[in-house]
Amino acid sequence: MRGAAALALLLVVAAAACTEEGPTAVGGDLVKGGELRTFEVLLEPGQFLALDTAIAGYAGPAGAGYQVVANAYEGVLQAHAMTRFVSLPDSQQVVQTGGGTVWDRNLTFVGGQLTAVVDTLRSVVEGEVGVHLHAVRQAWDPASATWTHAVDSAAVRTLWEQPGGTRMVPGSTRAWAAGQDSLLLSFDSATAAALAEATDDEQGLLLSMTGGQGRLRISNMSLQVDFRPSTRPDTVIRVLVPVTRRTSVYTPRLAERAATARVGGVEGWRTFLRMAPTLEDLVVPCGPSGDPGSCTVRLGNAVLNRAELLLEPMPPPAGYAPTAAVPLTATTVLRPAFVPLERSPLAQVVGVADAIPASAFGADSETTVVVDVTGFLRPLLGSDAQAAASDWLALFSPPEGGRFGVGAFSGAPRLRLVLTVATEVQLR
């Protein structure tokens, strides 16, 4: 009897609950009227951004891992590749004709050969060009040298006596045409002697280009020097001289800030975006495609299904066209107090676009680059937007400085939102 009474009591409670709750929820109706509407909203930059700016300087040619040689590329770019090696030996152990070895401290340098490995996939020339090898004739700093300055550090600024690097007349010249994967530049005794006599601050070799227009990407260099020992003057000995530092100097150099979005480039462009502080309060249309204004909704009252930044590629400044696909990554930015924006650290990756083909940055391109930032934006539209980790984004191209060409975009990005709204939160 007790079991039967208990079962009857449970059935009564269950029946009572069913009379107070809707069939799709526990605790009350979630969707009054039973309607859910999913729709798309496209926001212009001024609707969702409080600030956008592009800043360069997060990389540089001295740490790029490649060098550039150019002549009138896209009508304007001039670039020289500069390389420093360890000092040439002032003595060498020499095997004698009759056996045994001696240290010879009276060496006569008679020439040598520079081998430059060319990245053919990222090099562009029109016809055949001439590449010239020069010895540098002025003290210079590989870490800071530019087209105009031999030294351009915080403490010292020294102009080149000759823009693009003070240099001797060419010690060697070779023709180069598209498809050749290396340059072998044999040089004479005058160039070898200049290397041997140079101080540690002066020592270096420079590559320049003449002839047709073009831009070469040099992946690597090696130097071999020939000398005659005084103990065996009829013998030429070749030694390998290791590279210590390398860089490129070029003109024109882009300003460090831009009003339109940019990523990548040899100087590491980043685009910073700050979301509007009350983005969740923005009211957007939610009606059907034929009549979008028939209803409106506050963003914070809608469910965010997907958020995408949309960027429109455009040709970069002349001389900086990409020659390979450009990766694009979005990451949050930490904004500690009293730290300038340009020095703010990057934090968490929140979106990665498909690699952008170099052709997308052409004048006739109709490409749209899409970056999914749903995970970043969702907390900013939630009930506690102030608790979001960051309202700043940075767009950049990894590895920074890994490509000479710049990914440029028309203006700031737009924002595409896919939202779902219930009828009871619509604002009519």
Give one DSSP letter per residue of 268-334, joined into a string. TBEEEEEE-TTGGG-EEE-S-TT-GGG-EEEGGGSEEEEEEEEE-EE--STT---SS-EEEEEEEE-
Q: Residue 92: what pLDDT?
A: 85
Q: Residue 25: what pLDDT?
A: 37
Residues of the chain with pLDDT under 70: 1-34, 289-290, 292-293, 383-387, 423-428
Q: What single-letter amino acid sits at 282? A: L
Q: Residue 424: what pLDDT?
A: 60
Q: How far apart are CA 26 and CA 12, in angstroms?
A: 18
The alpha carbon of residue 220 and the mean position of all alpha carbons in its chain are separated, in whole angstroms, by: 20
Q: How far apart are CA 100 and CA 30, in angstroms?
A: 96
Tokens representing 253 are 């150099």
Phi-psi region of 12 (alpha: psi -120 to 50; beta: other; left: phi over 0): alpha
Q: How far apart are CA 56 and CA 264, in angstroms?
A: 9
Where exactly are the structural domains of the chain? 32-56+255-425, 61-251
Q: Residue 423: what pLDDT?
A: 64
Q: How far apart are CA 104 and CA 228, in angstroms?
A: 10
Q: Residue 422: what pLDDT?
A: 80
pLDDT digits (tens, 9 = 90+) for 123-161: 999 889 999 999 999 999 999 999 999 999 999 999 999
Q: Residue 252: what pLDDT?
A: 98
Q: How far apart are CA 206 and CA 198, in angstroms?
A: 14
Where is 348: in which H helix or E strand?
Answer: strand 346-356
Q: Residue 75: what pLDDT?
A: 96
Q: How far apart are CA 152 and CA 144, in angstroms?
A: 5
Tokens representing 396 are 């950049």
Q: Residue 11: what pLDDT?
A: 35
